[in-house]
Amino acid sequence: MLDSVVAEMYGVKTKVHHQAVKRNINRFPEDFMFQLRSGEWKNLKIQFMSYSWGGR
């Protein structure tokens, strides 16, 4: 599930969600989440653009 989807579920902006996670990082298991590096995100976006359904 994307961070933006979780933020939307709670009715907050993604930035606010990120801040809350950082403030409470000890409450999450180590393998609960991950963050893509810039190059990985670019590659993922290219793959999304190649699909006809598009979107996230």
pLDDT score at 35 = 83
| Domain-embedded: residue 55 | no
Task: Compute mean pLDDT per 10 residues along the chain, 56 residues long, and list them.
Answer: 90 94 90 85 80 60
**In this structure, is residue 7 part of a structural domain?**
yes
Instruction: Report if residue 8 sits inside a domain.
Output: yes
Q: Please state, in angstroms and rounded to a whole number, the distance separating the CA atoms of residues 33 and 50.
A: 26
Q: What pLDDT does residue 50 have?
A: 67
Residue 30: inside a domain, yes or no?
yes
Q: Is residue 18 part of a domain?
A: yes
In a domain, 37, yes or no: yes
pTM across the whole model: 0.59
Q: Determine if residue 35 is left, alpha or beta; phi over 0 gives left, psi from -120 to 50 gives alpha, anything else beta.
A: beta
Count of structural domains, the chain: 1
Asked whether residue 56 is assigned to any structural domain, the reply reads: no
